[in-house]
A = this chain, B = another copy of it.
Amino acid sequence: MSQEGLLRPGIAQIRVLDMDEAITHYVERIGLDMVGKGEDGRVYLKGYDEFHHHSVVLREADTAGIDFFAFKADSQQSVDAFRKRIEAYGLEVDDVPAGEQPGTGARIGFTVPSGHRIELFAHMDLSDQAPDTRNPYIWKSEPRGMRAQRMDHCLLYGPNIDKVEEFFTQVLDFHLPERVDLPDGTLAIWMTVSNKAHDIAFVNHPEPGKLHHLAFFLENWNDIGHAADLMSRYDISRDVGPTRHGITRGQTIYFFDPSGNRNEVFAGGYTAYKDHPVRVWDHNNVGRGIFYYERQLNDAFLSVVT
């Protein structure tokens, strides 16, 4: 009881076009720690406030985008039970052996109706660079760059949003704090397996398997402003912000990594409980829902994905 089953986003594996540029971006600018590099060239990163070995994996490739997004479960029994429910729902499940990523146990993977690969796993080693647990300081060394505390969530674009919602809520036990309903159906859903306002979100989109953004958590609005200062100083391509989302109430900047993947720095956001009513946005207000200050979508929001 309390939080059972899935706990949180555990791994985002991202494709980048140039690894050196990506490392500068994610390590020096966003402020993640580089915790390892694999023989296959993949680079493993984590936020300074994350306990486990890594949360972001960079893979050099010819196209940008996301390979998969994985959730950490509380036990292997939970993963095994989810496997049965996923297969019963009709999705095919495959296995990724322990050690395919350093410090990481066996994972299961499957493709949800939006065309994205989702994975579940129960074990990851604690990082040597984890926060202290014996008389800890709030951080060991001053946070760097945008001072990202952790990989927080992703927003994915693809078709069959209704099916995605059904799958995540009925099979993976997420709940849904917020949604956008257009006259012809659901445009977007925000779902969480915790008390965070969202752990994953989806927007309806004809092309499957696309990444809208991968988000990193900052402490507050002042750090959002500092992140914007850094973007101008280092010529990081900014999409929109500093602003606030009406949806989740988070304070935010969208920007791009050197490969064109959209990132977000995100702060705040309400505490979500499954007994709270779902917040619903309609066609006339979705602009304010996405960008609370601008009160309209920019063109890029619905079209630029990787």
Binding site for B on A (CB under 8 A): 1-8, 49, 51, 72, 74, 78, 126, 130, 132-139, 142, 145, 150, 173-175, 192-196, 219-222, 225, 228-233, 238, 241-244, 246, 249, 251, 268, 270-271, 273-282, 284-285, 288-289, 292-295
In the assembled complex, the CB of A125 is this many whole angstroms from the nearest CB of chain B, namely 12
Q: Judging by beta carbons under 8 Å apart, are A138 and B292 in contact?
A: yes
**Contacts A3-B273, A133-B279, A233-B137 given; does A293 touch B195 at CB 8 Å:** no
**Contacts A229-B244, A230-B142 given; does A136 touch B279 at CB 8 Å:** yes
Q: Judging by beta carbons under 8 Å apart, are B7 and A4 in contact?
A: no
Give the one of A2, A225, A278 with max B CB within 10 A.
A2
Q: Judging by beta carbons under 8 Å apart, are A194 and B2 in contact?
A: yes
Query: Which residues from B are CB-within-8-Å of A173?
Result: 1-2
In the complex, besides A3-B4, A136-B279, A139-B233, 11 extra interface pairs with C-beta distance below 8 angstroms are: A1-B6, A2-B274, A137-B246, A138-B232, A138-B233, A139-B229, A150-B271, A194-B195, A195-B195, A220-B268, A228-B293
Closest to A78 in B: B1
The CA-CA distance from A132 to B243 in the complex, in Å, is: 21
In the assembled complex, the CB of A280 is this many whole angstroms from the nearest CB of chain B, namely 6
Query: Which residues from B are CB-within-8-Å of A280?
Result: 133-135
> Which 7 A-B pairs have CB atoms at the shortest separation, nearest pair first?
A1-B5, A1-B173, A135-B285, A195-B195, A222-B222, A2-B173, A1-B4
**Contacts A279-B133, A279-B136 given; does A225 touch B246 at CB 8 Å:** no
Q: Judging by beta carbons under 8 Å apart, are B138 and A274 in contact?
A: no
Q: Judging by beta carbons under 8 Å apart, are B2 and A49 in contact?
A: no
In the assembled complex, the CB of A56 is this many whole angstroms from the nearest CB of chain B, namely 17
In the assembled complex, the CB of A143 is this many whole angstroms from the nearest CB of chain B, namely 10
- Which listed residue (B220, B249, B273) contacts A222, Cβ 8 A? B220
Q: Judging by beta carbons under 8 Å apart, are A2 and B292 in contact?
A: no
Q: Judging by beta carbons under 8 Å apart, are A2 and B138 in contact?
A: no
Query: Which residues from B are CB-within-8-Å of A282?
Result: 134-135
Q: Judging by beta carbons under 8 Å apart, are A232 and B295 in contact?
A: yes
Closest to A222 in B: B222
The CA-CA distance from A173 to B4 in the complex, in Å, is: 10
Query: Which residues from B are CB-within-8-Å of A145?
Result: 142
Query: Which residues from B are CB-within-8-Å of A241?
Result: 293
**Contacts A238-B293, A282-B135 given; does A175 touch B277 at CB 8 Å:** no
The CA-CA distance from A72 to B273 in the complex, in Å, is: 11
In the assembled complex, the CB of A250 is this many whole angstroms from the nearest CB of chain B, namely 10
Query: Which residues from B are CB-within-8-Å of A232?
Result: 137-138, 246, 288, 292-293, 295
